[in-house]
Chain A
Amino acid sequence: MRLLTHNMLACNIKGVTKGFPLAIEVTKLETKESEMNPDFLRHIYPKLDWKALHDAAHTLGLNDIPEQVEPAMLEDEDFLQKFHHALLEVHLEEGALICPETNRRFPVTKGVPNMLLNEDEV
């Protein structure tokens, strides 16, 4: 699971009002290189919750993601490379996602987060 997907996931247990962003518990990370597509990054940027990406990246040890982004930075090759790496190249292979409100743990196994709820949580 990449941080791109982490940015899209929220805990939706019945009654939870703020299930986003999910905290990350890292057991195993993998880096898989991929070709950078600046247009994709510029396109996806406005859809991201940047603070969630920033915090998640820091949890994964990617400390060069700035807290705030200026539009001009999206033209900067160096920044785009770091953005690309954090968003798309680092995969959480084993670990968990934790609901910020209930501390419910959603396991991540072989790169796949399991968001299934129990019957009493729906």
Chain B
Amino acid sequence: MDCVVELEKHTTVDSLHSPSSLRINRVKEHRKSFSSWQVASPRRRSASIRLVARHPDVYEPCDDSFALVDALLADKVNLLEQRPSLCLEVGCGSGYVITSLALILGDVGNAQFLATDISQTAAQVTRETLSAHGLQADVVVTDLVHGLEKRLAGSVDVLVFNPPYVPTPEHEVGAAGITATWAGGERGRVVIDRMLTMVDNLLSTRGWFYMVTLTANNPSEICQIMKKKGFASRIVIQRYTEEENLHVLKFWREDLTFDYDYNSETGGGGATPQSSFSSKMSRFAFWK
């Protein structure tokens, strides 16, 4: 799998910073390494970093964004097979992820792409990024999915969320400017937990929900919360930097059994049936 080779190429080790400044400082590192990395991965179908629009108040693509796109790339075979009709990204920021998802699914051609962000500036930046890649998708300024939840109920086939996950004081959640893009309150869970309550309503019967988490968010507990709502889960990608342990989690309705190709974690080597949360408990053990 070409995507697996890429996983390591932009995993950089950061110097010590506070979590908040960390997310900005890392961007510079990525900028330095990105061009050579991109040349090294000509088959990659994600958004081009050079075409991603920017604004000081909008979170630029960083480790977590790359991990999420890598997870989608790693799951590309399954995504193409699922042939999603409606893909929704919540908190689209720069537009890097929704643009990449649209490019990944470009081959099937029947999907509708929709993105939301609480920031008007981010929504504009996402529009510019989409447009720079010749893509059309609509962007709505709203709090998570407010205003869309009635009409989209049971319709979302692919739901993608890179939340503000950094543990911060509560008052920083939703604060002005760039802070809101990472500030996640206690254990980084304030916005995540609000989103978790909406997934069941939004996802179609075959729908998948991808979310970035940090070890501090207690992903094991998140999976247990979702399990109670009837969702199975697995880790699509784990990425370790000196500062952050990132995981991209994938959730699906447990009453559906899939038997499709899945080889992202091991880096290739044949099909493995999708396994449920219970069989993953040993893997979650190290989080505790």
Q: Would you call B143 and A5 a contact (CB within 8 A)?
A: no
Q: Would you call B109 and A19 a contact (CB within 8 A)?
A: no
Interface residues on chain A, size class: 20 to 34
Q: Would you call A12 and B110 a contact (CB within 8 A)?
A: no
In the bound complex, residues from chain A placing their C-beta under 8 Å from that of B87 are none
Q: Of the 9-residue stretches A54-62, A77-85, A104-112, which lies at the interface with chain B?
A: A104-112
Known A-B contacts A5-B114, A39-B110, A111-B127; A12 and B147 likewise in contact (beta carbons under 8 Å) = yes
Interface centre among A34, A40, A112, by most chain B C-beta atoms within 10 angstroms, is: A112
Q: Would you call B120 and A8 a contact (CB within 8 A)?
A: no
Q: Would you call B147 and A9 a contact (CB within 8 A)?
A: yes
In the assembled complex, the CB of A39 is this many whole angstroms from the nearest CB of chain B, namely 5
How many residue-residue contacts, CB under 8 A, span A and B?
79
Q: Would you call B120 and A4 a contact (CB within 8 A)?
A: no
A1-54 with Cβ < 8 A to chain B: 1-2, 4-5, 7-12, 19-20, 32, 34, 37, 39-40, 43-44, 47, 49
Identify the closest chain B residue to A21 (Cβ): B151
Identify the closest chain B residue to A42 (Cβ): B110
Q: Would you call A5 and B120 a contact (CB within 8 A)?
A: no
In-complex Cβ contact of A9 among B136, B140, B155 (8 A): B140
In-complex Cβ contact of A109 among B86, B120, B142, B147 (8 A): B120
Q: Would you call A5 and B150 a contact (CB within 8 A)?
A: no
In the bound complex, residues from chain B placing their C-beta under 8 Å from that of A63 are none
Q: Would you call A4 and B138 a contact (CB within 8 A)?
A: yes
In the bound complex, residues from chain A placing their C-beta under 8 Å from that of B146 are 12, 115-117
Assembly CA distance A10 to B149 (angstroms):
8
Q: Would you call A19 and B150 a contact (CB within 8 A)?
A: yes
Interface SS, A side: loop
B178-216 with Cβ < 8 A to chain A: none
In the assembled complex, the CB of B136 is this many whole angstroms from the nearest CB of chain A, namely 6
In the bound complex, residues from chain B placing their C-beta under 8 Å from that of A88 are 136
Known A-B contacts A88-B136, A113-B140; A47 and B155 likewise in contact (beta carbons under 8 Å) = yes
Identify the closest chain A residue to B88 (Cβ): A8
In the bound complex, residues from chain A placing their C-beta under 8 Å from that of B124 are 110, 112
Within 8 Å of chain B (Cβ to Cβ): is A114? yes
In-complex Cβ contact of B138 among A5, A44, A114 (8 A): A5
Assembly CA distance A44 to B86 (angstroms):
9
Identify the closest chain A residue to B138 (Cβ): A5
Identify the closest chain B residue to A1 (Cβ): B138
Q: Would you call B127 and A112 a contact (CB within 8 A)?
A: yes
Within 8 Å of chain A (Cβ to Cβ): is B246? no
Within 8 Å of chain A (Cβ to Cβ): is B3? no
Q: Mark B112-147, 1 if CB is under 8 A from A, else 0.
A: 101000101001100100000000101111110011
In-complex Cβ contact of B139 among A8, A44, A112 (8 A): A112
In the bound complex, residues from chain A placing their C-beta under 8 Å from that of B109 are 37, 39-40
B52-79 with Cβ < 8 A to chain A: none
Known A-B contacts A40-B110, A44-B85, A112-B127; A8 and B136 likewise in contact (beta carbons under 8 Å) = no
What would 9 A/B residue contacts be, using CB atoms closer than 8 Å? A2-B136, A9-B147, A10-B150, A12-B146, A39-B110, A40-B109, A114-B120, A114-B141, A116-B141
Question: Given A8-B151, A9-B151, A115-B148, 12 other A-B contacts at CB below 8 A?
Answer: A8-B152, A39-B109, A40-B110, A49-B151, A109-B120, A110-B124, A113-B140, A113-B141, A114-B120, A114-B142, A115-B142, A115-B146
